[in-house]
């Protein structure tokens, strides 16, 4: 039985923010997807989360059905402020914050800039690149080339060239929605992976946090975990050994197992 309730739009932080809601009962949870993942592409994860939480999956600005275009600011600070404004607008005064990749970077910044109401934070394989650090493993043309092809029109088979291990259903969904990812927003976020220091927020994070690390993909290495734990000694760490950066796509049950009881109920 599906836990999906509806999609909606709110005006928050000066833009239209589109979201998908699952579950509708229990502790509120806001899920922030990654750099080229509209909310709908995380529906298979939100479906499970909705069994336990009142789950809201956000379309980041410049993605999905949220506001987009050249007049908007796509900086990390503004995108983090979108999250806090969304929670305020929906009057979510006690919520978990879960972010993947870019979404994890925005989530930790939002939790520091807007700590009111943040219960617990889950950071899923956040890029730890930054000034003076090693580059993020993925390259910008991978994103730009696929977006430009999607704007013309592409099917699941064409998408397979970019996501070789994905299922037919996953490829079809990405092929359908990738065109909603506004290229300048994606370029700004990718550049910010290297220009904005993820680590600066960690010492100021007050909410309990869990770091979920992909065993494959090279985004977070053992030395990175050690540095993160040094900056935020109370953070818990879980590894999903058989998954790359897109953890739930590679090992869905391993992904949910990594949460353990951090958010209360076990998810697998």
What are the catalytic residues?
101, 221, 245
Residue with tokens 């065109």: 179
Centroid of chain to Cα 190: 14
Residue 85: strand, helix, or coil: helix
Number of residues assigned to the chain: 268
Nearest to 228 by CA among 236, 216, 240, 218: 236
| DSSP per-residue string spanning 101-160 | THHHHHHHHHHHHS-TTEEEEEEES-----TTSPPPSS-HHHHHHHHHHHHH---HHHHH
Nearest to 241 by CA among 228, 227, 257, 226: 257
């Amino acid at each position: 039985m599906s836990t999906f309730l509806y999609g909606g739009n709110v005006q928050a932080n000066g833009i239209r923010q589109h979201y998908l809601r699952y579950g509708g009962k229990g502790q509120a949870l806001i899920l922030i997807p990654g750099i080229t993942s509209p909310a709908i592409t995380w529906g298979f994860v939100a479906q499970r989360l909705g069994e336990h939480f009142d789950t809201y999956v956000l379309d980041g600005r410049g993605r999905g059905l949220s506001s987009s275009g050249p007049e908007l600011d796509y900086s990390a600070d503004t995108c983090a402020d979108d999250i806090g404004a969304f929670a305020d607008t929906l009057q979510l005064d006690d919520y978990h914050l879960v972010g993947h990749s870019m979404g994890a970077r925005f989530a930790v910044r939002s939790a520091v800039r807007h700590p009111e109401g943040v219960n617990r934070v889950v950071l899923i394989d956040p890029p730890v690149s930054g000034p003076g650090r090693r580059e993020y493993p993925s390259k910008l043309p991978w994103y730009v080339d696929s977006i430009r092809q999607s704007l013309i029109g592409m099917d699941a088979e064409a998408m397979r060239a970019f996501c070789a291990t994905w299922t037919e259903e996953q490829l079809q969904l990405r092929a359908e929605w990738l065109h909603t990812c506004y290229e300048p927003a994606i370029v700004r976020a990718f550049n910010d992976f290297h220009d904005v220091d993820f680590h600066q927020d960690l010492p100021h994070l007050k909410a309990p946090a869990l770091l979920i690390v992909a065993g494959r993909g090279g985004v977070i290495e053992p030395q990175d975990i050690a540095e993160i734990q040094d900056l935020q000694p109370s953070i818990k760490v879980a590894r999903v050994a058989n998954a790359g950066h897109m953890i739930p796509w590679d090992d869905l049950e391993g992904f949910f197992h990594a949460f353990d009881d951090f958010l209360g109920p076990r998810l697998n």
